Amino acid sequence: MRPLSNPSIQTGTILTLAEIKAAVETFDRGETNVFDALDAIIVAVEAHQAAMARSVQRKDRHRDAA
């Protein structure tokens, strides 16, 4: 039986949330300004979206090969 989801996707999502939380915490401590915090969040989200797109492309290639 195949798992319903990919553990690496779940791990990537958790790491992305951790990066966002870290950016918010550095802003809350006053170690960074709002623009740098927002930039860090945007970078983390875009990296996650790119990883998800690569994952979908791999699944499609495997499906086409079968």
Consecutive H or E run containing 53: helix 34-65
CA angle 21, 25, 26 (to 5 degrees): 120
pLDDT value of position 1: 45
Whether the CB-CB separation of 44 and 23 falls below 8 Å is answered with yes
33-58, pLDDT tens digit by residue? 999 999 999 999 999 999 999 888 87
* CA gap 45, 23 in Å, rounded: 12
Whether the CB-CB separation of 45 and 13 falls below 8 Å is answered with no
Per cent of the chain over pLDDT 90 is 58
CA dihedral 29→31→51→5, nearest 10 degrees, is -20
